[in-house]
Amino acid sequence: MKQKPYLSLEDVKRMAAAAEAEALAHQWAVTIAIVDDGGHLLWLQRLDGAPAVSAQIAPAKAHTAALGRRESKVYEDIINQGRVSFLSAPGLSGLLEGGVPVLMDGHCIGAVGVSGVKSSEDAQIARAGIASLA
CATH number of the domain residue 25 falls in: 3.30.450.150
Q: How many whole angstroms separate alpha carbon 20 and alpha carbon 29?
A: 9
Instruction: Decide if 4 is inside a domain.
Output: no
- Whether 15 maps to a domain, the answer reads yes
**Residues comprising the chain, all counted:** 134
Chain centroid offset of residue 32 CA: 8
Cα–Cα distance for residue pair 30/46, rounded to 1 Å:
6
Q: In the chain, how many domains are there?
A: 1
Q: Please name every residue paired with 112 in a beta bridge, in sequence order, or none if there are none.
A: 34, 100
Residue 3 lies in a domain: no
Does 2 fall in a domain? no
pLDDT tens column, 107-126: 999 999 999 999 999 999 99
Q: Among 78, 88, 23, 76, which Cα is nearest to 33's?
A: 23
117: containing domain:
9-131
> What is the identity of the amino acid at 43?
W
| 1 domain-assigned | no
pLDDT in tens, 8-65: 999 999 999 999 999 999 999 999 999 999 999 999 999 999 999 999 999 999 999 9
Residue 71 lies in a domain: yes
Residue 116 included in any domain: yes
